[in-house]
Amino acid sequence: MPTPSEGRESGELAALLEVCDRLGRARVLVVGDAMLDRFVRGSVKRVSPEAPIPILSIEGELSMPGGAGNVVRNLAALGVGTAFAGAVGDDPAGEQLAALLAQKAVLGTGLAVEPGRRTPVKTRYVAGGQQLLRTDFETVAPLAKATEDALAAAVGQWLKAVDVVLVSDYAKGAVTPALLAALMAAARAAGRPVVVDPKGADFARYAGAAVITPNRGELSAAAGRALATEDDYEEAARVLMAAHGFGAVCLTRSEEGVSLYGAGSDPVHVRAGAREVFDVSGAGDTVAAVLAAGLAVGATLPLCAELANTAAGIVVGKVGTAVVHPDELRRAVLRLGGEDATRKILPRERLLETVALWRGRGLRVGFTNGCFDLLHPGHAAMLAGARQECDRLVVGLNTDASVRRLKGPSRPIQDQASRAHMLASLGCVDAVVLFDEDTPLELIRAVAPDMLAKGGDYTLDTVVGADLVMAAGGRVVLVPLEQGRSTTDIIRRIRKEDGASPEQPSGRGDSVSDGL
């Protein structure tokens, strides 16, 4: 793959950031094969005496939309107004999938229910971040004529409310030739471009698409021959464009990035950023979603391809069929320009994703919390001691409103953004998350840390969440403190030197572990 220039010009970087900021205005209709993805997670400690297979002790189960539904999830995570049109069976899985899609497709859904059809369910059994087994329960057959007509009517309805149509074909039978023909004709009449994530060898079904996003295997199958060189890829793409009227082919190339072949222009090769890959599941969905959203807000195809490739680089660093969020995408774009945009300050949803990734890698997650107003060496020593007891340390930080309720109207001295920034600058801290409640109990419940740390002036019965952590098999660690160091003492000395009345401390704010 040809190597593009390593850096990004400031103009290109600004253009990418502008597209990032506009993605929330996009309106996209997704049409395709939705399925239910189930993840059954647990631990393996022994082999079955009945057969040479591991015994999975189940600890939890998670269900989410998969297939075309994962495209909807990706768009929704970016704030894109999304509609979905597809089919489900008249079964419990179909009901669950419909409910999950309704949460993500904020514009609405056009779901056709086909009696007797089995809603596709893919169940993955996972231990230690590794899949042990996947089972598929599905009907792979074209839709019945009545279902097909109902789906075509739903597509016609939603076309008026969106900017782009994205066809996510998983070859389960929802994307029939007749439906595609009707969709392409209606989209052409409405002036809506169609992006297609294709399946199979017959790309003639997608004739007239503005962009198709095959991977290398799919492009090879459509070309009817093996593809080995750059010339082979470009020739195959241009032959398909000429034969079927595609506006462009965006070839996804796994660890190599993407290549964009447009009519009348030279190829654009976007190399994947160097990062550790944990799971490539759903990366193609992310590429198609971001490409469609970019087109919906008027971005050029090269910019869309660059942004889609950047987004895919984020999701392969997560476990499972993951999504990318606007702040993550923006930071990744900044890194393209050489700026270190790594941030440890995370919203709660992103923190839980990060914790799941750490756990998937077998890392022990620790947690502590506090106000950390006027960060001092006592704080730093306590945090360093906590970090020695785990592989990753999460710090829960009281918001300004929470601090005022706990310590009075004169606190905090520093606002929450400043306090979070100071904590994140410490090497022993791996993540910082704000919480607005008076105690961190709900946050501890959500993180479910393997280790809970507090200062040594606490006792087990005064540590919030201690019973919760120990009941789940975790540990509570009381870290020895440096005597004579507290935020309250610092404030008192400052006020004394200024001639002001000393602040009247309240509660635990007077202890040497103030804020811990």
- From 33, 163, 285, 430, active-site residue: 285
Please give the structure tokens belonging to residue 132: 């042990």
| Strand ordering across the sheet containing 54-67 | 54-67, 34-47, 121-127, 130-137
- Residue written as tokens 């590794």? 130
Q: Is the peptide bond before 347 cis (omega within 30 degrees of 0)?
A: no
Could you tell me if residue 330 is left (phi over 0), alpha (psi between -120 and 50 degrees) or otherwise beta?
A: alpha
Alpha carbon distance 384, 375 (integer Å): 13
Spatial contact of 507 and 371, defined as CB atoms under 8 Å apart: no
Please give the structure tokens belonging to residue 277: 């890959």
3-state secondary structure of 214: coil
| Strand ordering across the sheet containing 268-270 | 108-114, 81-89, 27-32, 164-168, 194-197, 211-212, 248-252, 258-262, 268-270
Residue 327 appears among annotated catalytic residues: no
- Residue written as tokens 């401390």? 505
Alpha carbon distance 511, 516 (integer Å): 9
Alpha carbon distance 406, 404 (integer Å): 5
- Residue written as tokens 């992310």? 286
Residues taking part in catalysis: 285
